[in-house]
Structure 1
Amino acid sequence: MSTAEMHRLDEHTEEYAATIADYVVENDDMKTFVKQVYNFIEARTLNIKPKLIYSDNIFVSKEQTAELILKLIKSMRDAESADTHIQYSTGELAKYFGVSITAINKWICEGRFIGVEKKEKNKQIKISSTTEWRALTGQLYPVYEIVNDYKAREAQREENSKAKTERQMLLEAIEVFEHKYDKSFVDFLKKEDKTPEEERDASEWAYLLSRLKDE
């Protein structure tokens, strides 16, 4: 879509976004498409405002989906007018591809980054996020896809680590009550004539156990 076409959307952008949202929330293929557009914009734009906040839960509501689409349109327009591309050093690419800098330089010499040529010695190479990289299978992948895959894996690892930490905190809190009363929660509930403190502890103990069950 050209810049002129993007700007012609201004007058009816909200209506346009709402119409698209109706299709997206009911169609898994459309959800996948929106995710791909989001990933492309995230990789291609640099300091574009407003920042996009995205999650799978966004598709639960048509209103939220429409809001996301509005932001996507705005970001595409801003990205096009700013004409910005993220540039990666060989060191950064080594991290995202999970290889050494030597391997990245070798790929450059082999022409596996399409259109990128080895520069003079000691001159730093920068590779655009939109540059295509040729895998050993011959398949071409834009660099931003590799970067997004890396970031997604890192985010998942961080989420898993966070979940593990929360579970550990729950277990430790439950253990405090077990040590305090020297019995399990089930046995503790059997006690009659609990004091107000014990009633409060029982309530909190039950809550912690329910949270642990949901983990």
Structure 2
Amino acid sequence: MLTAYELHEFNRQKDSIADSLLKQVHGNSNILLFKVLVNYLEKTNISGLRLDNLDESIFKDSKELKERFAQILEHMATIAAEETEHSPTYTTGQLAKFFGVSITTINNWINKGRFIGVERKERNKQARISANTKYKAPSGEIMFVKDVVEMYNEAENDGNLNNSNELEFLVTQLAMYEGKYGGEYDKTLGNKPFSGMTPEEQTDAAAWRYFLEQVENVNRSS
């Protein structure tokens, strides 16, 4: 699954990737590779690229060939990162609900790079963020957006959100983690370097911090 950050990194390096591939595949081989990619994109009808005007002359111009190759790679990466039933994308409004904050806060987090690899390209265009995007909490902990959505949905299915039992539910979750690690967050996982945690501890730390933030939001709104 291609994350938003991986898509961003791939597009940033696409020119060097195209150059490297063309240097590794010589002569007729790179011509065959290029033709296979072009014909695949045309026949699957998933590309918005205008490739039907290409002819054999492109193989005589190494600069144009490299530019076209990089363009094709970028488009393929974009398709790879598109929303599917397994990797939905969310609006800032939806994320505000899942994280329990305002839309303004979500936008601020985007601007500050809290959603890794996500950039607002157009000033007035609403961002859509993939479930596979990584979110970096103020504490440095990292979790996937889909994990936050899953926690929200589990709580909602239990009937614990948007009612008087919400705080009770959150306190119960915090008590579970405190029992598991033998103390409060700041004195246990919160006092341990994130890089030194096991994968299970990293996941628990991110979830634990999330519930702590939710308690703060509930207390502020009450």
Which structure has more relative contact order (CA 8 Å, sep 6+)? It is 2
TM-score, length basis structure 1? 0.35
Larger Rg: 1
